[in-house]
Structure 1
């Protein structure tokens, strides 16, 4: 039955009625929130996974609203896009993540007490459908399901049993969303329905992959190395047998749907876990074709970048295969900006005294840069357990310079964090971006996707290391000295 639905949608999207064709290529999103809110919106013409989405090419605007109203308009929208909108005031935050929008949509949304939304205007029905699907999906995660998974199976170290129960919960959640989507089918455009159907259906794969990853992690912590390896292999095979994604997918949907891409990448990562990550790009090329192949290949490499030893070579080989221009751009951006051997971005940032410091000021010395932000628990742990001791250990090495770059927006917050001595030391050179997260060129150019991130630059300004760092003193010291 599912294949019949996909085939019918394929015909509808290919032949489609004239009224489905939109001449308007703008997208407007407006509405009201709370007075004093800062409203930020991100729009992706092309989605390449959540891990590096904010450092890749996308449209981004921010508005501070005194009266709570906001309005964003985007031109030259030729295809469906995904957007994330965030409302923030102090510690109060509310967000809608990766909502589908169509060319010509003019949506008004209203946020009530950071808890609920209402939608009106052209395209509002699809927004409301997605919002209600998220709500009904959450209700599908019953307390009984959670208890059966966490208490019974995990205490008995029955990890396949845990996975079976987790997968049943995923199926219940997805089925609840699909039932609601059917209720909205006649209210939204055929193309919207097809993409939302793909997104929701493919949640089975991505969520089952998350469950598989969790089961693998907890089994590794509780079993001997050999037993953990064996159970991880078993769980991986179980995931691949269970994670079925639609095969009769309309071509246009397969290259737009966020969910379909995430599912294909999840399967590729699971395959890589069963053999080696370096072999998977060739397997993707063999398994898929056309633009879908290009999207999955590009996204897989971006997602698995920290695990690929010869990343530059893998990217260069992929570029020989990838034909879709917008799928080539992210890999070319990586190669040109922050892979090992590329020239590091020459940032200009303010230090604690207000002086502007540039990376070029430290030419002739190896520069170790720690990227963090106030409120980052991982950043506190990294500094406390490793970085602080290494800075003290290597303090007298005149060939080294330690820099700290905080991705903080408010100077007072940053200065107070330095004084706390839990993120960084006042004895090294501390800099900050003075912009909201992930927006400063220094963050984008170095491709910072998570915090903390360690970057090491050599005496000639070339990147030696750019990734998360070991959380132990010996491992961190070894990385700094060996590069």
Structure 2
């Protein structure tokens, strides 16, 4: 049966400069909407601009989540009055909803971190600039009326719903919080220490939350439990997933033992007590569910077939079917959207379109349905590509339509991206030489680097290292003399990037002579697969 959803745009009061993510503007009118209110007196932030973000459906361990496009927030700007006061009402569309509130004004903080490598632990201090007011993924419920006062660098909270803010503020900024831990890839002792750190962090968070039992609504209390456990377990399983990074059987067996003894063996009784509704509302649990599935499948396949099996791809093939078999609800819907976002980078065009069509028949939540529908509309083969305007090395503005009549290969990257360097090298050594003298093919290298000097140093063939800049080796992203190098005018906020980069870099695209999309996920040429990309480009040339 075809689903029909009535959609409307959520509004905020006393706020301007609306910026809306695709998953947040589509909310069923029939849902009950009740406002939450936050008022404050922020001494030291008089006249500052606050950025308010809120999610109808939230997903992320932090605000750099790879699923930002699918789970983007509504964003609003709030001007703090000259006397330091501000007031905002936020519509709450579900039983609870996440929000962030950050000041434009910054402060410098010092934090202590552990670094562990080759059996040695170092305790060092690092500085960072952070917003003076820095609430990230805090929780609101309908009817909340929260007052915040910032005075002499200290915050106090009162009013209905304030206990949730007090808890999250204590958990995130307590001096007793376990020190963050930096591990090093390839060091098994470092991996064990990292897993232990997240065990400590989880227990720390649960112990603090217990103090607020009875002071927070049962629903919010349980979602916060799911958030803490989901966050920490995600990183524990991510540590075990390093197994997939190595072909050496000895190293693989080391990580297999780490997984068995340090990760899988740990029971999670608190999660087993939480309802599917709670787990679906959690911003962290769906990420943990997916990561655990991928890691467990990889180890099962390894145990069954040994070192020769492609465990990562097999896990991706099984994941979609596992998600479809879940009980209907928000947890399943979030996982479907995550999987759809991932598959745009992994599978071929026909398979992507088939899976998107299947996903649309399964989704229940109207905002999640709207996201996948947008994926289908944007990523269907034959769609006219968005006509960008970007800057070339000489500072000239270049439009995609300038190349109409030619086959266009697009490589989207940023300095510091290891996979992007690997693709650039394969393009330089294997792909571009094959099309030497063929003027009907154009290679576009598009960087989202905001630092122009850094970008130019990355693409200059014989560049020298600049000690004033911190980045990957000079010239690492040079991909050939035939390449046209472009840079977005506003980093990853460029409309073309927002439309086509779903969750990872590099993003590779193929566009036909009419400016229509042939492939949103073109074949990567690295890893010995250059010929597959060459064949794909030639297929477009024959059209």
TM score, norm. by length of structure 1: 0.72
Q: 1:126 aligns with which of 164, 173, 180?
A: 164
Q: 1:381 aligns with which of 412, 416, 421?
A: 421
Aligned: 1:44 with 2:55: yes
Tell me the secondary structure at the aligned position of residue 289 of structure 1. Answer: coil
Pairwise CA distance, 1:322: 2.0
Tell me the secondary structure at the aligned position of residue 51 of structure 1. Answer: coil
Decide whether aligned partners of structure 1 residues 403 and 472 sit closer, same or farther in structure 2, where only a CA change above 3 A counts: same
- Paired residues of 1:107 and 1:121 also in contact (CA < 8 A): yes
Q: Distance in 1 between matches of 2:87 and 2:421?
A: 38
Matches within 5 A, 1:468-479: 470=524, 472=526, 475-476=529-530, 478-479=532-533
Q: Distance in 1 between matches of 2:430 and 2:45?
A: 45
Q: 1:433 aligns with which of 479, 483, 488?
A: 488
Deviates more, 1:86-95 or 1:446-455: 86-95
Aligned residue for 2:287? 262
Q: Distance in 2 between matches of 1:169 and 1:266?
A: 18
Aligned: 1:196 with 2:224: yes
Pairwise CA distance, 1:456: 2.3
Tell me the secondary structure at the aligned position of residue 201 of structure 2. Answer: helix
Q: Distance in 1 between matches of 2:484 and 2:146?
A: 47
Decide whether aligned partners of structure 1 residues 452 and 460 sit closer, same or farther in structure 2, where only a CA change above 3 A counts: same
Aligned residue for 1:178? 206
Pairwise CA distance, 1:335: 1.7
- Paired residues of 2:171 and 2:177 also in contact (CA < 8 A): no
Q: Distance in 1 between matches of 2:403 and 2:522?
A: 23
Q: Distance in 1 between matches of 2:529 and 2:430?
A: 10
Q: How many residues align?
A: 444
- Paired residues of 2:222 and 2:278 also in contact (CA < 8 A): yes
Q: 1:101 aligns with which of 140, 147, 160?
A: 140
Pairwise CA distance, 1:71: 6.3
Q: Distance in 2 between matches of 1:60 and 1:187?
A: 29
Decide whether aligned partners of structure 1 residues 345 and 30 sit closer, same or farther in structure 2, where only a CA change above 3 A counts: farther
Matches within 5 A, 1:156-167: 167=195
Aligned residue for 1:278? 317
Q: Distance in 2 between matches of 1:400 and 1:81?
A: 48
Decide whether aligned partners of structure 1 residues 120 and 170 sit closer, same or farther in structure 2, where only a CA change above 3 A counts: same
> Could you list the per-position Cα deviations for residues 225-278 of structure 1 after superposition, in whole angstroms to 9, with x for gaps in the alignment?
xx8489759948985564646233245423311122223222333355346332
- Paired residues of 2:383 and 2:517 also in contact (CA < 8 A): yes
Pairwise CA distance, 1:446: 0.8
Q: Distance in 1 between matches of 2:100 and 2:139?
A: 9
Pairwise CA distance, 1:315: 2.1
Pairwise CA distance, 1:301: 3.6
Aligned: 1:59 with 2:50: no
Decide whether aligned partners of structure 1 residues 72 and 52 sit closer, same or farther in structure 2, where only a CA change above 3 A counts: farther
Decide whether aligned partners of structure 1 residues 28 and 298 sit closer, same or farther in structure 2, where only a CA change above 3 A counts: farther
Aligned residue for 1:323? 364
Larger % of helix: which?
1
Q: Distance in 2 between matches of 1:297 and 1:392?
A: 37
Pairwise CA distance, 1:178: 0.7
Pairwise CA distance, 1:433: 3.1
Pairwise CA distance, 1:180: 0.8
Aligned residue for 1:18? none
Aligned residue for 1:300? 339
Aligned residue for 1:11? none
Q: Which runs of 5+ in 2 are unaligned?
A: 1-31, 109-127, 302-313, 464-474, 538-543
Aligned: 1:447 with 2:501: yes
Pairwise CA distance, 1:182: 1.4
Q: Distance in 2 between matches of 1:69 and 1:379?
A: 46
Pairwise CA distance, 1:477: 6.3
Pairwise CA distance, 1:28: 6.5
Q: CA RMSD in A?
A: 4.8
Aligned: 1:346 with 2:401: no
Q: Which runs of 5+ in 1 are unaligned?
A: 1-20, 156-161
Aligned: 1:223 with 2:223: no
- Paired residues of 1:27 and 1:77 also in contact (CA < 8 A): no
Aligned residue for 2:510? 456
TM score, norm. by length of structure 2: 0.65
Tell me the secondary structure at the aligned position of residue 98 of structure 2. Answer: strand
Q: Distance in 2 between matches of 1:239 and 1:468?
A: 36
- Paired residues of 1:27 and 1:102 also in contact (CA < 8 A): no
Q: Distance in 1 between matches of 2:260 and 2:369?
A: 30
Q: 1:371 aligns with which of 412, 422, 427?
A: 412
Decide whether aligned partners of structure 1 residues 182 and 59 sit closer, same or farther in structure 2, where only a CA change above 3 A counts: same
Larger % of strand: which?
2
- Paired residues of 2:167 and 2:209 also in contact (CA < 8 A): yes
Q: 1:206 aligns with which of 217, 227, 234?
A: 234
Q: Distance in 2 between matches of 1:111 and 1:352?
A: 48
